[in-house]
Amino acid sequence: MHVKKGVEKGVVNTVMSRSLCKQCKKRPVAINYYKGKKPYYRSKCDSCASGRSPGVPFWHKAGYRQKTKCDKCGFSSKHKEQFNVYHIDGSLTNCKHSNLKTICANCQRLMQETGAIWKQGDLTPDF
C-alpha cells in the first residue's frame, strides 16, 4: 500500500496498487499467486474470466431494449429507472423477444404480490 500525495497532514488515505482487468479495464483483479513477497495478479476480473459482462443483462445482449412505456398498464415516463424487463415464462435466460415485456415498477410489484401470471396479448391490468 502507498499513501496518496497531497493529502492533509494527519489524514492518511491509502490506496491498494492492484492491477485492472485487461478486458474491461475497470474492475480490479485478484492475486493469482505470490513469488517471494511479490504478488502476481490474474489478467482478468472474475466477471470477464467467467464470460459475464458486468452490469449487462442477458436481455440487453439479445438485442431487447427497455421501453419508456409499460406493456401492462400503459404508464409512460421519460425515466427508464421506473421500468423493468419482465420474463413471461419466468426464466431469466430465455431472452426471446416474444418472452420479454417492459413493465413499470407498480405492475411488477402487483404481479409479485398477487402471483398473477402474464397472459400473452394481455395489455390491460387485470387486478
> Which pLDDT value is given to residue 70?
93
For residues 115-122, give the mean pLDDT.
Answer: 62
Task: Show the cell assigned to 57.
Answer: 443483462
The overall average pLDDT reported for the chain is: 75
Do both 88 and 110 map to the same domain? yes
Do both 85 and 65 map to the same domain? yes
Do both 93 and 78 map to the same domain? yes
For residues 88-107, give the mean pLDDT.
Answer: 88
Of 31 and 71, the one with more pLDDT: 71
Pairing of strands 2-3, 14-15: antiparallel
14 falls within a domain: no
7 falls within a domain: no
> Which pLDDT value is given to residue 15?
42
Task: Show the cell assigned to 124.
Answer: 390491460
> Are 35 and 24 a contacting pair, CB within 8 Å?
no
- How many Å separate Cα 99 from the centre of its chain? 19
13 falls within a domain: no
> Are 70 and 105 a contacting pair, CB within 8 Å?
no
User: How many domains does the chain divide into?
Assistant: 2
> Which percentage of the chain shows pLDDT scores above 70?
75
88 falls within a domain: yes
Structural domain harbouring 43:
19-53
> Which pLDDT value is given to residue 104?
92
- What global pTM score does this model have? 0.52
What is the rounded distance in angstroms from the CA atom of residue 46 to the CA atom of residue 26? 12
pLDDT per position as a tens digit, 43-97: 877 777 776 655 678 888 889 998 999 998 999 988 888 999 988 888 888 889 8
- Choosing from 53, 74, 101, the residue where a domain stops is 53
> Are 47 and 24 a contacting pair, CB within 8 Å?
yes
